[in-house]
Amino acid sequence: MTGEQHYLAGLDLAGRRVVVVGGGTVAQRRLPRLVSSGARVELVSPAVTPSVQTLADSGAVVWHRRPYAPGDLDGAWYVLCCTSSPEVNAEVSADADRLRVFCVRADAGSAGSAVTPATGNHDGLLVGVLAGGEHRRSAGVRDSVLAALRGGAVREAVAKPVGVALVGGGPGDPDLITVRGRRLLAQADVVVADRLAPGSLLEELPPSVEVVDAAKIPYGRAASQDAINSLLVSHARAGRFVVRLKGGDPFVFGRGFEEVQACAAAGVPVTVVPGVTSAFAVPAVADVPVTHRGVAHEVVVVSGHVPPGDPSSLVDWPALAALRGTLVLLMAVERIGLFAGALVAGGRPGDTPVAVVQEGTTRGQRTLRSTLDKVADDIAVAGIRPPAVIVVGPVAGLARPDESERASTS
């Protein structure tokens, strides 16, 4: 590397006038971070992209709908030239130099008096990387640093969280946990994991982390929830940060709120990190959209853990049978015959499409397409096993156009 390097600084732009010239896709990428810094952003441009327009409409930036004019930089602390015209950008940056206002030139970084680092945010930590104009290099390093932070590979001297975090682990693929969930997991002292929580997330944990398999807690079904609750509370009270890792979303048939209540009753701080629920994600990866324009305007997620007519059932099967839209049945493989029968008895046509997706988002994923009349037999013949999501409704009959159809219609 030759010559001087730029000097990396953090600007406090809160309440200060920042002028952005040009309203295209470059400005669109820069504006959100400027706005969240609290800057008073004024945008000068004859035209803007729809998302810049949205920012202007919301009042987050003030848009002057006209070309740049001398005088626009008066009172500015910082300037970004983002027009597609090198001449205009050169004019703006020359004006900025005269006024001694730092100015970024989006079209020619080295020609401006400031450059924008590749930036990323991790839990309130801002990472900025400059690579002397090599954008791929700075973006690549930024991405790696963020990934390392998120994965816990970089040790941060941050205060360890306390209490219990109820984390939705997503439907199975370890990539489908949220960024926040993964970050908290990396900070855990104890992880209490459900059977359906993505197992490979646990393999990444250092040996110092105590992993409790909640499925192996040796009590009856009802008592085991109490045992889990007291486990969460006792570990947290002993000063350990506990992650309760659940499959999908913690509040979709996950008994998550019972655990929130138990922690709250014990005075243990508890936070909830939502997850990608299998109810929507598993159909999605099998090309079944739970809604589709002109096909389904409603989607109901139903638990199949008790049969229709069971005294403890809270499901109104005749009402579900009267719907035209999408039903997503969880925990329903064993009793699918009863559910399909109840729906047909209630008036849902027997030829209504059904899609069954076993172990969605994992390597064991398989999909079966059927109809209400045939689904129980087809599941038995195919040997479909839980966990599976069953989708009932016209969306289960949609497909991508195949090559020949596309060729004939285009």
- Using CB under 6 A as the binding rule, whether residue 388 contacts ligand SAH is answered as yes
Smaller CB separation from ligand SAH, 26 or 302: 302
**Catalytic residue status for 194:** yes
Binding to ligand SAH in span 142-171, by CB under 6 A: 171
Question: Least distance in Å: CB of 279 to ligand SAH?
Answer: 6
Piece in contact with ligand SAH (CB under 6 A), picked from 140-148, 154-162, 216-224, 278-286:
278-286
Cβ contacts of 287 within 8 Å, gap of 6 or more: 398, 399, 400
Per the residue annotation, which of 216, 287, 351, 377 is the catalytic one?
A: 216
Smaller CB separation from ligand SAH, 115 or 379: 379
**In the set 117, 172, 174, 325, which binds ligand SAH (CB under 6 A)?**
172
Question: Least distance in Å: CB of 252 to ligand SAH?
Answer: 4
Question: Least distance in Å: CB of 393 to ligand SAH?
Answer: 16
Smaller CB separation from ligand SAH, 19 or 260: 260
**Catalytic residue status for 246:** no
Smaller CB separation from ligand SAH, 252 or 263: 252
Smaller CB separation from ligand SAH, 39 or 354: 354
- Using CB under 6 A as the binding rule, whether residue 118 contacts ligand SAH is answered as no
Question: Least distance in Å: CB of 351 to ligand SAH?
Answer: 24
Smaller CB separation from ligand SAH, 23 or 387: 387
Point out the residue whose Cβ comes nearest to ligand SAH: 248
Nearest Cα to Cα of residue 25 among 6, 47, 2 = 47
Per the residue annotation, which of 72, 107, 173, 194 is the catalytic one?
A: 194
**In the set 83, 89, 138, 277, which binds ligand SAH (CB under 6 A)?**
277
Question: Least distance in Å: CB of 225 to ligand SAH?
Answer: 14
Smaller CB separation from ligand SAH, 201 or 252: 252
Q: Are strands 326-330 and 366-371 parallel, antiparallel or unpaired?
A: unpaired
Cβ contacts of 39 within 8 Å, gap of 6 or more: 13, 14, 15, 16, 17, 18, 78
Binding to ligand SAH in span 222-261, by CB under 6 A: 246-249, 252-254
Letters for 330-369 (x = contact with ligand SAH by CB under 6 A, - = none) are: xx-------------------------x-xxxx-------
Catalytically active residues, by annotation: 194, 216
Contacts with ligand SAH by CB under 6 A lie at 171-172, 196, 246-249, 252-254, 277-279, 282, 330-331, 357, 359-362, 386-389
